[in-house]
Amino acid sequence: MPIPDFVKVYEAKSDEELMQFAAAREQLTYEARLALQSELSRRQISIAEHSASSQNDGKWHDSDRVIVSERLQQGERQGVGDFVAEVLRTYHTHFWLFLKITAPAVIISTIAIITSRNEGREIARHLPRGFELLAHRTEIFEMWLANFSAWLVSWMAFSFAFGAVCIALEETEAGLTPTAWHSLRNVRERLGSFLRISLLLFVLLLVAEAASMLLGTGVFWILHQLQVRPSRLAILVVSYALVGPALLVFSRFALAIPAVILDDCRVGQAMFRSDKLTEGKWLTLAALLAKSIIGGYVAAMCPFWLASFIRITAPLPSWFPWILTIASIIGVTVVEPTMFVGFALLYLKMSALNSAPIEVLTSQLLHNRHYAQ
């Protein structure tokens, strides 16, 4: 039976009947489980609350705990390579959906960064060189404010896209057919909490980058005291070696956005939930970050790198730089969604492992034990 037919069947059932189906979830087909999950989410029915009351009707034996524990461990054994492969398959299957969701964020971010750079260059053009520059504190602050505003706009745009990807992926897992506009529009339902968690994460990102910069300054100061002059390559290696771990630690809180968007968690609750769900997932987080940061940087710079091979004497039209910018936008739009899909999929999988399986399995065990008696 196709999923839409199951949806119609479950829509006609009462809440109690749906919980009976949820108790015997393992006996349902894949299509039936997706439709059941969709209907439970639509009615905002928590399996945990119902299963908690059902536990009062019987005892949870040690053998039941062993079965549940084994089920959870089997789900947690998925390797990093398998998870990344699943992320890529999911992205490839719904390529155009995620592309449409991410494209507006990339365009807004590009416009904001280009505008801030032009503003900064215009201000710097009228400033003196050398130590006299320190006397123009107002102009320096204006340049910093322009860059800061651009990065804030970029961060909020990509956070909005991330929230929409989470909604689209959850609906996809439930067997529905989401659209980019519907997913983006639904983020507004949690707009207040979404803005608060996004701004909090932005501040934490600034703290992480500031900490890595301070560590880098300390490293180079020590090298200077030792009269060691690092090469340009060494400076880049040290800088990335310090920024990478800082971003990795920061990524532990990336699942706070889907916690707010999908489960209506409060900001503080979402932060603790993200930290819990990403516990022990360092390699997975590193793989997602590396693929996004390195892949996004290469995709953004590749058109300009290729253009550098063009002979300087070759005549180029005035609009040629815009062609490079458009190509850069397309490249980033194609590459960037993999991280969003990865984090969203990680949240859905870990949330299921940490909540639904133990509750559903317990309910099913007690249900089967009741009929066996």
Give the model confidence (pLDDT) of 178-197 as tens digits. Answer: 899 989 988 988 889 999 99
| 14 or 165, greater pLDDT | 165
* Structural domain range at position 310: 80-372
In a domain, 34, yes or no: no
49 within a domain of the structure (yes/no) = no
Residue 30 falls inside a structural domain: no
Residue 183 located in a structural domain: yes
Range 276-301 average pLDDT: 89
Cα–Cα distances (Å) from 161 to 33, 118, 157, in that order, read 28, 26, 6
In this prediction, residues 135-143 reach a mean pLDDT of: 82
Residue 139 lies in a domain: yes
For the full predicted model, state whether its pTM sits above 0.75: no
CA distance 15 to 9: 13
Please report the pLDDT score of residue 158 as a whole number: 95
Q: Classify residue 103: in a domain, yes or no.
A: yes
Q: Examine residue 18 and state whether it is found in any structural domain, yes or no.
A: no
Report whether pLDDT(136) > 50. yes
Q: Is the pLDDT of residue 124 over 60?
A: yes
User: Quick one: DSSP state of residue 280?
Assistant: T
- Identify the residue with better confidence: 23 or 209: 209
Please tell me the total count of domains within the chain.
1
Whether 191 is in a domain gets the answer yes
* Tokens of residue 64, six digits: 């039941």
164 — pLDDT class (breaks 50, 70, 90): very high
3-state class percentages of the chain: helix first, strand second, coil last, to nearest 5: 85, 0, 15
pLDDT of residue 154: 95
Residue 21 has pLDDT above 80, yes or no: no
